């Protein structure tokens, strides 16, 4: 039986791949648990400077496995230990995505719906194939976003657009998602993998300690005032002055050469 979730590290990039192409990469309890563990594993690995999340087949992630839930076995089913049972919501992948300091890229090769859309929103950067769609069909199923969507969406695209999208249960094409600011790039399907690799490498080439600190600061900045945030920035800056990467950044600038950062 094929693994439902694949994980690979190449260079400084860790890639997590949903691997249920025959079921549109819908999420099972096993995948839910593995995804959180892989995200935390990658975040703790000093070699990994960027995490890419993508899918095999024609979907990125079509949400929770509704068919299994309806039969009582999947997430939400009576016989499962998924989101309604033993699973701790603090360990849910969208929450983990918000907590980790390693930059994350959602490479949307296909549709992201329901829980899959929440996962995509939880990533720092989203780039999409022209074939990708984002489906906010929660209210059309008598539900609300499963894990963080109502927190994330207004912060990404503003209250009015988020309200319209959620209340209408609309599905967006990739070009519509780009206009709304839900994705930052839309590419031909054959160009998505190379563009994702290029972006990941561009990020990984910069000082990893500074990038991780920047992500932490952005996260705190979402919930605190400017004065408090400036104080936090100052406290984050002080230890960076003592790093090898800071000295390398200055030296490489003076010597007019690419920097070689070690994360130290």
Q: What is the CATH number of the domain that holds 248?
A: 1.10.12
Q: Residue 146 — very low, low, confident or very high, per pLDDT cuts 50/70/90?
A: confident
Residue 148 contacts by C-beta under 8 Å, 6 or more apart in sequence? 92, 94, 95, 98, 118, 121, 122
Question: pLDDT value at position 83?
Answer: 42
How many degrees, rounded to 5, is the angle at CA 34 between CA 178 and CA 50?
50
Query: How far apart, in whole angstroms, are the C-alpha atoms of residue 121 and residue 118?
Result: 5
pLDDT of residue 76: 53
Please give the pLDDT value at position 25: 95
Domain assignment present for 174: yes
Pairing of strands 185-187, 133-135: unpaired
Q: What is the DSSP letter of 103?
A: -
Q: Are residues 236 and 131 in the same domain?
A: no
The token duo for 253 is 């600038």
Same domain as 97, residue 54: yes
Q: Which of 30-39, 86-95, 201-210 has the lowest mean pLDDT?
A: 86-95
pLDDT exceeds cutoff 60 at 74:
no
- Report helix, strand and coil shares of the chain as percent, to nearest 5: 50, 15, 35
Q: Does residue 92 lie in a domain region?
A: yes
pLDDT tens across 91-100, in order?
Answer: 788 889 999 9
What does the alpha-carbon distance between residue 8 and residue 126 come to, in Å, rounded to a whole number? 20
Query: What value does the mean pLDDT take over residues 35-44?
Result: 97
- Within a domain: residue 21? yes
Q: Please check whether residues 196 and 218 belong to one and the same domain.
A: no
Percent of residues, the chain, with pLDDT higher than 90: 80
> Confidence class of residue 139 from pLDDT cuts 50, 70 and 90?
confident
213 shares a domain with 200: no
Map residue 224 onto helix, strand or coil.
Answer: coil
CATH code, 62: 3.90.226.10
Whether residue 65 is predicted with pLDDT greater than 90 in this model: the reply is no
Whether 259 is covered by a domain: the verdict is no
pTM for the whole structure? 0.90
Asked if residue 102 and residue 12 are part of one domain, the reply reads: yes
260 occurs within a structural domain:
no
Q: What is the pLDDT, as a whole number, of residue 202?
A: 97
Of 66 and 164, more confident: 164
How many domains, the chain? 2
CA–CA dist 147, 44 (Å, integer)? 23
Assess whether 155 and 200 both reside in one domain. yes
Mean pLDDT across 23-34: 93
Domain boundary at 165, 186, 204, which? Answer: 204
Whether 54 is in a domain gets the answer yes
Residues 152 and 89 in one domain: yes
261 assigned to some structural domain: no
SS3 state at 171: strand
Q: Is the same domain home to 34 and 162?
A: yes
For residues 236 and 175, membership in a common domain is answered with: no
Confidence of residue 85 (pLDDT cuts 50, 70, 90): very low
Instruction: Tell me the residue range of the domain where 128 lies.
Output: 5-204
Q: Which two tokens stand for residue 217?
A: 């600061």
12 lies in some domain: yes
């Amino acid at each position: 039986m094929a693994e439902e979730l694949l994980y690979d590290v190449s260079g400084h990039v860790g890639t997590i791949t949903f691997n249920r192409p025959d079921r549109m990469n819908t999420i099972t309890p096993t995948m839910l648990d593995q995804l959180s563990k892989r995200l935390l594993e990658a975040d703790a690995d000093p070699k990994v400077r960027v995490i890419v999340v993508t899918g095999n087949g024609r979907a990125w992630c079509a949400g929770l496995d509704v068919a299994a839930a309806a039969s009582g076995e999947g997430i939400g089913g009576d016989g499962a230990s998924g989101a309604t049972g033993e699973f701790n919501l603090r360990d849910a992948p969208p929450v983990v995505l918000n907590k980790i300091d390693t930059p994350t890229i959602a490479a949307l090769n296909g549709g992201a719906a329901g829980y899959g859309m929440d996962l995509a929103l939880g990533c720092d950067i989203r780039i999409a194939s022209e074939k990708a769609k984002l489906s906010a069909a929660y209210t059309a199923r008598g539900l609300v976003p499963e894990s963080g969507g109502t927190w994330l969406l207004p912060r990404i695209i503003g209250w009015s657009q988020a309200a319209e999208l959620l209340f209408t249960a609309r599905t967006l094409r990739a070009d519509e998602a780009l206009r709304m600011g839900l994705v930052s790039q839309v590419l031909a399907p054959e160009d998505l993998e190379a563009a994702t690799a290029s972006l990941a490498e561009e990020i990984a080439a910069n000082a990893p300690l500074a990038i991780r600190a920047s992500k932490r600061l952005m996260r705190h900045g979402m919930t605190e005032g400017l004065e408090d945030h400036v104080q936090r920035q100052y406290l984050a800056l002080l230890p960076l002055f003592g790093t090898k990467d800071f000295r390398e950044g200055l030296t490489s600038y003076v010597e007019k050469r690419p920097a070689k950062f070690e994360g130290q």
